[in-house]
Structures are given as C-alpha cells and as structure tokens.
Amino acid sequence: MLEKISYAGAQSSSFAQAAKDLHALAEVEVTAKRIERWTKRVGDQRVAELERAAADYQALPLPVRQQSPTDQIPQVACVQMDGGRIQIRDRRQASDDHESKGYWRETLVGCCLSMTSNEHAADPCPTIPQTFVDAARMSQLGREIKGFSSVEDPDDEASEGVPEDRAGRPKVLLRSVGGHAE
C-alpha cells in the first residue's frame, strides 16, 4: 500500500489530488498530509541511494570507471541520423474544423544499431554489390529521395525484388529508434 501511496503522491498534480485518486482507485482513505510525508520520505531515500551510488562510482579507479556497466557490448555500433519536415495540426482550433491548416516542424530522427560482425583477413566483399551497379535501380532510388532529382528514362527497367544479402555483412542484434520534432 505504501508503494501505491508514494506512486500517487509523485504522479498526481497535488497531494490532495493523490488522496482523491487513492480513494477512487484503491478504495482507501489517506490524508493529503500523510501522502506528502510518505512521498517525501521515499524521495529522500532515493536521493540518498543516488548520492551513495555516485560516491561509490567516483571512488573507483579511472580504468574501472571507463568500462562498460553492462556485459552486452556490441562488436559493431552504428548510428544513423536523419531529419525532415512534418506538418502538425493546430490543436487549439476546433476538432470538427477539417479545413484547419497545420504548421510545419523540423523532425530529427536517430537510429542506433547494435550489430555483430566477423573479422576477416581480406575484404569479404571486394567487388561493388550488384544492387549498386544496377543503373536503373540507382536512378529509381535517386527519384525517390527528392522526388525530382533525376529524370526517368523509359528504357531503364529496375530489377525487381530485394537485393541479395552479401557475405560478411554485419547482423543487426538490436535497433533503437528515437525522434523529436521542434
């Protein structure tokens, strides 16, 4: 019950609101003052734990501090970034107004990949992959990027299907994607 009290105290807009929430959801009567005292006590304990952990970390020798805190260290790490523009609906206007105009925001998107790869004495792919040699496919990709960056040649026919997986290519273990609109 104390976990529920501290959770309600930390998540609600006020301790009085937390008391109302606990009454409605947990069917218990707890005063706002009691919720405040318990929430502050738990908060003080967590701050003390954090300060102890920080002091313990600072006491470690520098080489130990620079080691990864986790056993899962990827052989290969890849970070991909991109940005663009998205149109945002103005929420202040009435929701039934379908003609309302939005406004444009810049988006920032990042993708972090943890990968595994084998070491090779020689380049496992010494020639350019066939997908990059296909002129029609590259022309099609160029048009897709900007929508107008290259002129379509009616004689070019791009090969259908997904490009074949090349030997020695790293395998993705974990993909994390995050974004932000400004």
As beta bridge partners, residue 115 has 76, 172
Residue-wise pLDDT tens digits, 131-146: 788 888 888 877 777 6
Q: What is the pLDDT of residue 173?
A: 83
Residue-wise pLDDT tens digits, 57-83: 999 999 888 887 777 777 788 898 888
Q: What are the residue ranges spanned by the domains of the chain? A: 2-65, 76-181
Q: If you average pLDDT over every residue of the chain, what do you get?
A: 81
Q: What is the pLDDT of residue 140?
A: 80
Average pLDDT over residues 26-54: 95
Check residues 99 and 118 and name the one with the higher pLDDT.
118
C-alpha to C-alpha distance for 30 and 3, rounded to whole angstroms:
13
Q: Classify residue 57 by its DSSP letter.
A: H
Q: Classify residue 166 by its DSSP letter.
A: P
C-alpha to C-alpha distance for 84 and 181, rounded to whole angstroms:
9
Is the predicted pLDDT of residue 154 greater than 60, yes or no?
no
Check residues 181 and 26 and name the one with the higher pLDDT.
26
Q: Provide the whole-model pTM.
A: 0.41
Q: Which residues contact 19 (CB under 8 A, 6 or more apart)?
A: 8, 30, 31, 32, 35
Q: What is the pLDDT of residue 121?
A: 87
